[in-house]
Structure 1
């Protein structure tokens, strides 16, 4: 069988462009909002990196790169790139009626779906772990610290919620749970690699001397894995509920691009 680098337009992976449309706003506005989110997140990440690098009290440029081993930061980068990629696909769909994603190899299309699952699940884990386990108060006396932590540990979940509520995406394949757990396992390896190469534990609950021993660490890791699965289930439920309310009860079909004349796919929920 001859390898085809791009899927023919007649064999669409996402027939009614759920990843590029909304039940509430037109594709062009959805693309603009996603692009705006991406710009804000990228600016935040770069500003925090430069701020840490320019302040010796925070370690200066010698340790500025250590932020790339924090799950919070990595998932925030993931949000930035997701919204950038999603904005491109949505803009191309809004202009031509065909998303750039339609011409990608099927493997990359499925990976885009997994990418969507990561940005709608991981931010909630970050928010829950930070405010529930890591943050102990009092509130940050430095405005920069307050803004950074609210951006990375609170608005991140707001961005995820936007994708769940406003976009027309359908519930994702349940096999994505396995993909999410594999990514968490890979991150755990990165965290301990940082301990070996950089000499510090990324999070205190990974340090046996502070957490209470290997058994407690294993319990934390297992709990986060279970929490990841539960969050995925909740996200699936929220997506199903959004489809049910907007499409079945309110009859709000997707706002397609003017150049797209295909019938809208409605939920079977």
Structure 2
């Protein structure tokens, strides 16, 4: 009997239990333990927030362009980047605290039981107790919120790279880096945005992007076209010059098609880099005695399974 294809949470990278190896809150790098990783994510969250607020404030008070701030895909994707770093930093720091608290309890227990030989049953109980105590809040949240988090991750490792490529290839000019404010604003939103994405791609244990994400994340880009043309109708200008049909509407279609193809390429390249990073990290962990501790890379196919018929839920 043929197996029916179905859309499940697991097929979108939200298995049950969620993130059992704590990949979303750990790093394969030895100098980035959870607490440090959480702090770095927090600093990036603070920087992106300050950048967004300062640019919005100056656009509104000085350049009189505040009403059009949210009309630009650059601004929307940067806000998404900021939101992700705030969310991930909170989850990572919560995980680091859980690990620290458990170690404190274990140290106290070991001190009290020093000299007593542990039975096999005692070791099993300790293992189960450890699994129950170490977790971060997102693991206990409803599955729709878990799905939103992993989709947000996919967007922040893909959108910034597309924004950077499109800006420097089509939109930049000799005035782009003229003046302190212009240089800082454009570097922050069109260079550092991709640097922050590369940090998440290469320096964390987050598994490869599921192919199922390619559709939903692209839909957001497609819907943005509506925002661009609504802006044209209500505010009288095109947010991006290549969206102006003018006397060559076919050129706009070509640009849109090119961005769609570019999106698919960027998605595939990012997925490939993360897959390579996971494989390299797995080899490193397999050569370590502590390969079983929290943060060890999970199997690559866990995020790519089509269905888990025994435990999946419909989206």
TM-score (norm 2): 0.74
Q: Deviations over 1:145-202 (max 9, x none)?
A: 0000000000000000000000101112101110111101111111111111111111
Residue aligning to 1:171 = 208
**Is the Cα contact below 8 Å between 1:194 and 1:202 reproduced in 2?**
yes
Structure 1 position 224, deviation (Å)? 0.7
Residue aligning to 2:171 = 134
State the aligned residue count.
Answer: 248
Mark the structure with the bigger radius of gyration: 2
Structure 1 position 105, deviation (Å)? 1.1
Distance 1:139 1:123, change over 3 A: closer
Residue aligning to 2:127 = none
Q: Say whether 1:200 aligns with 2:207.
A: no
Which of structures 1 and 2 has the larger relative contact order (alpha carbons within 8 angstroms, sep 6+)?
Answer: 2
Secondary structure of the structure 1 residue equivalent to 2:150 = helix
Q: Say whether 1:235 aligns with 2:270.
A: yes
Gaps of 5+ in 1: 1-10
Residue aligning to 1:3 = none
Residue aligning to 2:19 = 14
Q: Deviations over 1:218-239 (max 9, x none)?
A: 1111111111111010000000
Q: Distance in 2 between matches of 1:245 and 1:81?
A: 29
Residue aligning to 2:61 = 54
TM-score (norm 1): 0.86
Residue aligning to 2:84 = 82
Gaps of 5+ in 2: 1-15, 99-133, 302-315
Q: CA RMSD in A?
A: 2.1
Q: Say whether 1:34 aligns with 2:41.
A: yes
